[in-house]
Amino acid sequence: GGADILRATSRIGEPMRAHRLIGVVAAVTSVLLIAAPSALGAGKGGIKIGAPKPVPHSLTLFDLSCPSGHAVTHTVCVVPLQTDFNPYGLSLIRNGVPGPVHVVPPNGIHLDCPTTTTCVLGDRGGIGWVVNGQSAKVMPLSGMDVLNAVACMSATHCLAVGNSGDGAKQHAVVSVFSEGDSVAYSHAVPGVKNLEDVDCSGSARCVAIGEAAGAKGAQQGVAVAINGGKVRKPQRQSSLWTLGSISCGSPTSCYVVGNSLTNGALHPYVVPIVKGKFGKLVADRAGVVDLSCWNSADCLGVNIHAVVRLHGGHVVGTTHVRAPSPVQHVACPTSAGCLITGGNYGGKEQVAIVRP
C-alpha cells in the first residue's frame, strides 16, 4: 500500500554526511522540489528547477522522506536537521515550502515517514516516533552501535540497520520494531560487516545493502532481503566494493548505487536488485550518489551538480542544477514529482519546485 517512503540518503562520498561536520557556523539551509520526472523525454533531460527556498534556522540537513503515493506538491515531506542554535529537529515541507523547525528527541539524523502524519527518527541514541512534527514516543536501541538507516514496512512496523563492534569484531545488525515496543532490539546478520542503507516497498518486503569480507579479506557488496521482519541469506556481489543508496520502486525490484575498486580507482555503477538478488551492473557515467524510484524501472538520481533520469539503471536524461549545489538527497513519492535537498553546508542548502 501507500506506506512506503522512497527515502534518499547520500552515503557514497562520506564527506557529504552532515553529522561529520565540525565547527560550521550558522546557516540557512534549503530544499528543492522537482516536478514531473515522468514528463521527461528519454535522453532529453527536460527537468525545470524552480526558485530555491530556505529552511529556517538550519545548519545542515541529514536526510529526506516523502510518503509515497502522494503528489509531492500536496503532501508533507520531512527533513531532519541541525539548527543554527544547536538542537536537532525536523522541518515539515508543504508544497515545496519548508516550515518552522520542530525540536524533537532523539537527536536523530535518519528518517522515514510511512504516512503523511507519522515518521520514525533514529540514531544510536534511540528510535523516536514523531506525529505531526511532535515527539510521540522514544524507545532505546539495544545492540546497535552505529545506526545507518531506518525504513518502515507499515505505519506501525519499521526496521533499522547498522553495525556493532569494532575492527575485526564489527558485524552488521538489524532491528525490527513496532510502535508498541518498549525497546528496539537488534540481531546480528552472519557474515556481513555493515549494513549501510535499507528500503521497503510499502509492504513487508525490504532490502538492506552493505559490505562483507570476501576472499582473502577483500571487501564486497551484499544485499540482504528482509521479508516480514525475517532476515534472509545475504547475497554477495564480489565486483562491488561499496554500496551506498538503495530505492525500491516495487516489492520485488530495487536499484542501488555503488562502486567497484580496480587498481586503486573507484568506478561507479547502478545495480538492479530483483527479488533480493543482484542483477547486471550498469556503468554509471553520471556518478549518481543517491536515487529514488517510483516503479520497477524508473528512478531519479542526483550527483553533486545534476539531476539524472534513469530507466533500467541507464541514464536517459540529465539536467544541471545551479541551486542547490551540491545536491544531497532525492525523494520521489510518485511519478509526478520529486524533492531534492542540497547546498553548501553552513548556509546555502535550498528547496525549490521543479516543473517540466
Q: What is the pLDDT of residue 26?
A: 30
Contact 193, 211 (CB under 8 A): yes
pLDDT for residue 326: 82
Q: 321 — phi, psi (to 5°)? A: -110, 115
Residue of 317, 323, 276 whose CA lies nearest to 300? 317
> CA Rg, the chain, in Å?
18
> Between residues 24 and 141, which one has the greater pLDDT?
141
- Residue 102 exposed, middle or buried by CB count within 10 Å (0-12, 13-18, 19+): middle
Residue 105 has pLDDT above 60, yes or no: yes
Higher pLDDT, 47 or 71: 71
Q: What is the pLDDT of residues 200-214, one digit of tens each?
A: 987 899 999 999 988
In the chain, the percentage of residues whose pLDDT exceeds 70 is 83
Segment (H or E) for 173? strand 171-178
pLDDT at residue 108 greater than cutoff 90: no
**142 pLDDT tier (thresholds 50, 70, 90):** very high
Confidence of residue 7 (pLDDT cuts 50, 70, 90): very low
Give the pLDDT confidence score for residue 53 in this predicted structure. 81
pLDDT the model gives residue 22: 22
Give me the helices (H) in 189-317, please.
Answer: none
Can you give the pLDDT at residue 327?
A: 85
Percent of the residues in the chain that have a pLDDT greater than 90, as a whole number: 55
Q: Is the pLDDT of residue 13 over 60?
A: no
pLDDT at 277: 95
Can you give the pLDDT at residue 126? 92
Which range, of 25-29, 81-85, 171-175, 257-261, averages the lowest pLDDT?
25-29
Buried b (16+ CB within 10 A) or exposed e, 136-161: eebbebeebebbbbbbbbbbbbbbbb
- Name the more confident of 324 and 164: 164
* Residue range 266-293, pLDDT digits in tens: 999 999 999 999 999 999 989 999 999 9
Cα–Cα dist 313/267, whole Å:
15
